[in-house]
Amino acid sequence: MVPRKVVHVITRLDRGGSAQNTLLTAIGHDRTRFEPLVVAGRAGRWDDQGGDQATDQSRRRLELAGIRCLLVPTLTREVHPIKDLATLRALIKTLRREKPAIVHTHTSKAGFLGRIAAKIAGSPVLIHTPHGHVFYGHFGRLTSWMFLQIERRLARITTHMIALTEAERQEHLARRVGRADGFTVVPSGIDLERFRCMVGLFGRRPQDITCPPDAIVVGSVGWLTEVKGHRFLIEALARLKPHHPRLHVLIVGSGRLREEYAALAGRLGVGEAVHLIGERQDVPDCLAAMDFFVLPSLNEGMGRALVEAMAAGRPVVASKVGGVPAIVEDRRTGLLVPPGDPVALAAAIDELLRRPDLAKALGIAASESIGLRFGAQAMVRAVEAVYETALAKAGMS
Q: Give the Cα separation of 175 and 184 in Å (integer).
A: 17
| DSSP strand pairing (216-221 vs 34-41) | unpaired
Residue 118 has pLDDT above 90, yes or no: yes
> For 50, left (φ over 0), alpha (ψ -120 to 50), or beta?
left
Using pLDDT thresholds of 50, 70 and 90, give the confidence band for residue 365.
very high
Q: Give the Cα separation of 41 and 22 in Å (integer).
A: 13
The closest alpha carbon to 236, from 123, 395, 348, belongs to 348
CA angle 54, 10, 136 (to 5 degrees): 100
Q: What is the reported pLDDT for 358? A: 97
Q: Is the dihedral of CA 73, 221, 165, 167 positive or negative?
A: negative
Amino acid at 377: Q
User: What are the pLDDT digits (tens) for 77-94?
Assistant: 888 899 999 999 999 999
Residue 263 has pLDDT above 80, yes or no: yes
Residue 52 has pLDDT above 90, yes or no: no
- Cβ partners under 8 Å of residue 237, min gap 6: 218, 247, 249, 265, 268, 270, 273, 274, 346
Query: Cβ distance 48 to 224 under 8 Å?
Result: yes
Residue 132 has pLDDT above 80, yes or no: no
> Which CB contacts under 8 angstroms, 24+ apart, belong to 166-174?
166/323, 166/326, 167/322, 167/323, 167/324, 167/325, 167/326, 168/130, 168/132, 168/133, 168/301, 168/302, 168/322, 168/323, 171/133, 171/135, 171/322, 172/130, 172/133
Q: What is the reported pLDDT for 138? A: 60
Using pLDDT thresholds of 50, 70 and 90, give the confidence band for residue 135.
low
How large is the average pLDDT for residues 63-83? 92
Q: How many Cβ atoms are within 10 Å of 143's Cβ, its own excluded?
A: 12
Going from the N-terminus, what domains does the chain have, and what CATH number goes with each? 4-189+375-393 (3.40.50.2000), 192-373 (3.40.50.2000)
Q: What is the reported pLDDT for 231? A: 97
Between 129 and 52, name the one with better pLDDT.
129
The closest alpha carbon to 30, from 6, 60, 46, 48, belongs to 6
Using pLDDT thresholds of 50, 70 and 90, give the confidence band for residue 296.
very high
Amino acid at 79: V
Query: What does residue 179 show for φ and ψ, rounded to 5 degrees?
Result: -115, 150
What share of the chain has pLDDT > 90, as a percent?
67
What's the pTM value of the predicted model, to 2 decimals? 0.77
Q: What is the mean pLDDT of the chain?
A: 91
Q: What is the reported pLDDT for 46? A: 55
- Which segment of 98-107, 268-277, 333-342, 363-372 scores lowest on mean pLDDT? 363-372
Residue 65 has pLDDT above 90, yes or no: yes
- Cβ partners under 8 Å of residue 199, min gap 6: 312, 313, 367
Residue 29 has pLDDT above 90, yes or no: yes
- Cα torsion through 214, 216, 219, 225, rounded to 10: -100
How large is the average pLDDT for residues 328-341? 96
How large is the average pLDDT for residues 154-173? 92
Between 203 and 168, name the one with better pLDDT.
168
